[in-house]
Structure 1
Amino acid sequence: MELDVLIFGSGAAGLWLLDDLRREGYRTVLLEAHALGGGQTVASQGILHGGLKYTLRGLLTRSAKTIADMPRVWRECLAGQATPDLSDTVVRAEQCFLWHTASLSSRAGMVGARAGLAAAPTKLPRDDWPEALCERAEQVYLLEEQVISPRSFGATLADAHRDVILKVDVDAGVEFEIDDRGEVRFVHVQREEDACRFSPHWVVFAAGQGNESLRVRVGLDSAVMQRRPLHMVLARGALPALSGHCIDAAHTRVTITSDVDVAGRAVWQVGGQIAEVGVDMDPAALVAHTKDELRAVMTIDAIDDLQWATYRIDRAERVTRGGRRPDDAAVLCDGNVFTVWPTKLVLAPRASALVRQALGQPPAGTPALDTTRWCDWPRPDVAQPPWDSDLPWSNAL
Structure 2
Amino acid sequence: MARPDVVIFGGGVAGLWLLDELVRRGHDAVLLEASRLGSGQSIAAQGIIHGGLKYSLAGSTTGSALGVKQMPGVWADCLAGRRDPDLGDVTVRSQTCLLWRGKSLGSRLGFLGARLGLEVTPRMIPPGERPDVLVDHSGSVAVIDEQVIDPASLLASLAARHPHRLFLYDPVHTDWRLAGPGQVVELRIRHPWDSLPGATLQIAPRSVVLAAGSGNAMLRERAGLATGAMQRRPLHMVMVRGEAGRLPELCGHQVDGAHTRMTITSSVDPAGRTVWQLGGQVAEDGVSMGRRELVAHAARELAEVLPGLDLAPLEATSFRVDRAEAATEGGRRPETQSLLIDGNTITAWPTKLALAPALAAQVAGVLDRMAPPAVPGVSVDLEAIDWPRPEVAQPPWETATDWLPVMAAAASRQAA
Evaluate the alpha carbon distance shift between residue 272 and residue 308 of structure 1 in structure 2; reply closer, same or farther with a 3 A threshold.
same
Letter in 1 for 2:184: V
* Aligned mate of 1:271, from 279, 296, 299: 279
Change in 2 beyond 3 A, CA 1:293/1:181: closer
CA deviation after TM superposition for structure 1 residue 131, in Å: 1.2
Q: How many angstroms apart in 2 are the aligned matches of 1:363 and 1:308?
A: 50
- Equivalence for 1:175: 175
Do the aligned partners of 2:180 and 2:224 also contact (CA within 8 Å) in 1? no
Whether 2:210 is the aligned partner of 1:200: answer: no
**Deviations, residues 159-184 of structure 1 (Å, cap 9, x unaligned):** 111101011111x2211100157510
The whole-number CA distance in structure 2 between the counterparts of 1:339 and 1:372 is 24
Paired with 1:75 and 1:368, the residues of 2 have a C-alpha distance of 29
8 A contact 1:99–1:137 mirrored in 2: no
> Which of the numbers 247, 251, 255 marks the counterpart of 1:243?
251
Gaps of 5+ in 2: 410-416
Determine if the alignment matches structure 1 residue 376 to structure 2 residue 386. Answer: yes
- Comparing 371-380 with 29-38, greater Cα deviation is found at 371-380
Please tell me the residue identity of whatever aligns with 2:202. R
Would you say the 8 A contact 2:94–2:147 is kept in 1? yes
Assess, with a 3 A threshold, how the Cα gap between structure 1 residues 210 and 267 changes in structure 2: closer, same or farther. Answer: same
Whether 1:190 and 2:212 are equivalent positions in the alignment is no
1:325 to 1:109, Cα distance in 2 relative to 1, 3 A:
farther
Asked if 1:212 is matched to 2:217, the reply is yes
Greater alpha carbon shift after TM alignment, 205-214 vs 290-299? 290-299
CA contact (8 A) 1:57 1:109 kept: no
Q: Decide which moves more: 232-241 or 116-125.
A: 116-125
**Structure 2 residue 252 is matched with structure 1 residue 233:** no
1:302: how far off? 2.8
Q: 1:157 to 1:367 in 2, by over 3 A?
A: closer
Deviations 1:253-273 (A, max 9, x none): 111000001111111111111
1:100–1:110 Cα contact (<8 Å) kept? no
The structural deviation recorded for 1:277 is 1.0
Give the secondary structure class of the aligned counterpart of 1:350: helix
Whichever residue aligns with residue 368 of structure 1, its letter is G
Aligned residues with identical type, % of pairs? 46
Residue 375 of structure 2 is aligned to residue 366 of structure 1:
yes
Contact 2:165–2:383 under 8 Å retained in 1: no
Which SS does the other structure have where 2:204 is aligned?
strand
Asked whether the 8 Å contact 1:109–1:247 carries over to 2, the reply is no
What are the residue-to-residue correspondences of 1:290-329 with 2, within 5 Å? 290-329=298-337
Q: CA deviation at 1:118?
A: 3.4
2:81 paired residue number: 80
User: What secondary structure, in the 3-state scheme, does the structure 1 residue paired with 2:46 have?
Assistant: coil
Aligned partner of 1:144: which letter?
Answer: D
- What SS class does the counterpart of residue 73 from structure 1 fall into? helix
**Equivalent position of 1:387 in the other structure:** 397
| Alpha-carbon offset, residue 218 of structure 1 | 1.2
Please report how far the alpha carbon of residue 365 of structure 1 lies from its aligned counterpart in structure 2 after TM superposition. 5.5
1:101–1:297 CA contact under 8 A, matched in 2: no
Instruction: Give the SS at the match of 1:87.
Output: coil
**Per the alignment, do residues 129 and 143 of structure 1 end up closer, same or farther by CA in structure 2, a change over 3 Å counting?**
same
* Counterpart-to-counterpart distance in 1, 2:258 and 2:351: 20
Q: Which amino acid aligns with 1:345?
A: L
Letter in 2 for 1:387: W
| Conserved? CA contact 2:178–2:184, under 8 Å | yes
Matched, 1:12 2:13: yes
The answer (yes or no) to whether the contact 1:211–1:339 under 8 Å persists in 2 is: yes
Aligned to 2:42: 41
Following superposition, the deviation at residue 146 of structure 1 comes to 0.1
CA distance in 1: counterparts of 2:43 and 2:367, whole angstroms: 28
CA-CA distance at 1:368 after TM superposition: 3.1
Alpha carbons 1:58, 1:112 under 8 Å: kept: no
Query: Structure 1: which 5+ runs fail to align?
Result: none
Please say if 1:284 is aligned against 2:292. yes
2:317·2:400 contact (CA, 8 Å) conserved in 1? no
- What's the TM-score once normalised by structure 1's chain length? 0.95
**Structure 2 length normalisation: TM-score?**
0.91
CA distance in structure 2 between the partners assigned to 1:112 and 1:391 by the alignment: 44
Residue equivalent to 1:50:
51
Residues 94-116 of structure 1: CA deviation (Å, up to 9, x unaligned) = 001111124x6x67874795454
Equivalent residue, structure 1, for 2:412: none
| Aligned twin of 2:100 | 99
- Structure 1 contact 20–352 (Cα < 8 Å) conserved: yes
Q: Which deviates more from structure 2 when the two are superposed, residues 296-305 or residues 122-131?
A: 296-305
Superposition deviation, residue 295 in structure 1: 1.4
> What is the match of residue 131 of structure 2?
130
Where 1:360 maps in the other structure, the secondary structure is helix
The whole-number CA distance in structure 2 between the counterparts of 1:127 and 1:7 is 51
Letter in 2 for 1:173: H
What is the CA-CA distance between 1:252 and the residue it aligns to?
A: 0.7
Contact 2:27 2:376 in 1 (8 A): no
Structure 1 residue 301: Cα displacement: 4.0
Q: How many residues are matched?
A: 394
Deviation per CA, 1:41-98: give whole Å up to 9, x if none: 0001000001123101111122211110001000000000011111110000000111
Q: Secondary structure at the match of 2:277?
A: strand
Distance 2:376 2:20 in 1: 19
- Provide the C-alpha distance between the structure 2 equivalents of 1:371 and 1:72, rounded to a whole number of angstroms: 39
Q: CA RMSD in A?
A: 1.8
**C-alpha distance in 2, partners of 1:76/1:331?**
25
